[in-house]
Amino acid sequence: MDLIKLKHYWIFIITLLFYCIGCIIHFIAQKNGTRPQKEKEILKKVSPSTVLFNSKNSNATVDTPENDYASPSNLFYFAQISDIHMSLDYNKGAQGHLLFFLKKMIPLLDPQFLFITGDIANSKKYGGMKVGTDENEWKMYHTILEKTDILQKNNGTFLWDLRGNHDCFMVPEWSSPYNYYRTYSKTKSRGFSFLYETSYGTYSFIGLDGCPTFTPSNPFFGIIDEVTMDTYTEFMDLVKTNKKNRHNFVFLHYPETTAKFGTSSTGKRWEDYTKDISLLLTGHFHNIIGDQIYAYHNNYLEIELSDFKLHGKYRIVSIDNDIVSFTDYSLPLPELPFDFKTSNVEDLINQPPWIFQHPIAPIVHITSPKNSRYILKTNREPVKESLTSGYVRVLVFSQQSPNDLKLSLFIDGKEQQVQFNYVGDQLQNSITTKKNNKRSLDTINIFLKKEKKKEVKLPLSLQWNLNLLNRKYHPFGLLDGRALLMTMVVPMN
């Protein structure tokens, strides 16, 4: 037993020593810091160009304050996953999780966009003894994208993928033949940037490539170099000129604490634009320091997402009348990571395991009111209007008929005698009520049939104006019935 403990001790010491040496070499390799000299012109050419997308309802009439909380309008949402780590060494999780998510979950959730924030491939073999990108891992990734029709979804505007540190292992520069990201990814450029234009505002999205210049070890720390900073600052300056711009979402594999931000060629810094960021969405740490790694920085909120590889984590972010809410979920599998019995993607596609035929329990996401712990510092959220609207707004993703669904609302552990009304696919009657109550709202618990309780803590006091509730509903179609927006009156003073 003592010999075994001693062996483990020396393995730990040697591993730690190699990581320390690797980190030293890593920083020595960055002698040019955040100002790349080699391939600088090439990096400029592969930097993303900003594009503009219009929603299907971009020319629709904007809802008035009278009814914007009573209809499914002024609402869209997107999804994020991170750290897939595809590898032929893994029968559990990884590429199996990805295939399940794209084939089973995406048709049900049907978000407007899907963002993958790095570490798509694993790039390690033999327990980390061999490090370097593997083309077979990227071919698996591309095969899954093709077979699930994700590449063509929403006219090719659905998926946006970034590189992570594992995607850069032993990649000396962008034009390296070992940079398989530029061949097999969807984005194929050093990041992305686009504007999403709707009838109720414009929303800006930018993804930053943090892969550093050549390093012979694991590039655990990201570098946002001068070329990327030029792209970022130009984009942020552009969106500032748009008076209809509502929110700016920034995506990066590396959390801020593990990224070194350079300056643009004109001397502009990351800190010059942080007050304009609504959310910074990252990955990288898996669940090393917990499942919920959220942090307020000086001017903005960063929300890191745990890994998809082992823990099957995915995130939904909704923008509901400019209220930004997010929920992190785990894949609805019997166990995580799920054992798919094979690492071969072709076998998984041609002979999918039984779990692909298993029904998915309904998924609940509260869009408004939002958790007060995560109110954005940009002051672009109409929090007061949301709280006084008189509604709890919920998205439900279900394979069942709306008539078979039943939601219950619990406030501070007490069930409320109220009813959720579906506004996704049927005509609703007008609502009237004379009951007035006042109570502090510490927690909202929503139960869906016998499924696990969904809880959102709201440490604040709410007052509800019941005069806003005497209105008529109209028929609205929402996401082919897969996601139904429900509004519910909470009778409070």
Q: Give the best-scoring range by mean pLDDT among 37-41, 266-270, 407-411.
A: 266-270
Q: Which of 10-24, 298-312, 464-478 has the lowest mean pLDDT?
A: 464-478
**What order of strands is seen across the sheet that includes strand 293-296?**
51-54, 192-198, 201-208, 245-252, 279-282, 301-304, 293-296
Determine the Cα–Cα distance for residues 43 and 38; give it in Å rounded to an integer: 9
Which amino acid makes up residue 328?
D
- Given pLDDT bands bounded at 50, 70 and 90, which one contains residue 448? very low
**What order of strands is seen across the sheet that includes strand 159-162?**
159-162, 114-117, 75-81, 313-320, 323-330
Q: Which of 29-33, 273-277, 372-376, 395-399 has the lowest mean pLDDT?
A: 29-33
Could you tell me the CA-to-CA distances from 78 to 183, 199, 316 in Å, in that order? Answer: 25, 18, 6
pLDDT of the residue at 429: 27
Q: Give the best-scoring range by mean pLDDT among 258-262, 391-395, 469-473.
A: 258-262
pLDDT of the residue at 45: 74
Higher local confidence (pLDDT), 455 or 148:
148
Q: For residue 253, which of 272, 275, 234, 228 has the smallest C-alpha distance?
A: 228
pLDDT in tens, 168-204: 988 888 989 999 999 999 999 999 999 999 999 999 9
For 264, list phi and psi in degrees, rounded to 5: -75, 170
Higher local confidence (pLDDT), 56 or 454:
56
- Please state the length of the chain: 493
Q: Do 121 and 134 form a contact (C-beta atoms < 8 A)? A: yes
Q: Report the predicted TM-score, pTM, of the whole model to 2 decimal places.
A: 0.83
For 9, list phi and psi in degrees, rounded to 5: -65, -45
Q: Which CATH superfamily is domain 34-357 in?
A: Metallo-dependent phosphatases (3.60.21.10)
pLDDT in tens, 45-78: 777 777 887 876 554 444 445 457 777 778 999 9
Determine the Cα–Cα distance for residues 221 and 212; give it in Å rounded to an integer: 8
Residue 41's CB is within 10 A of a number of other CB atoms, namely: 8
pLDDT in tens, 460-489: 222 222 222 222 222 222 333 344 445 444
Identify the DSSP state of 367. Answer: E
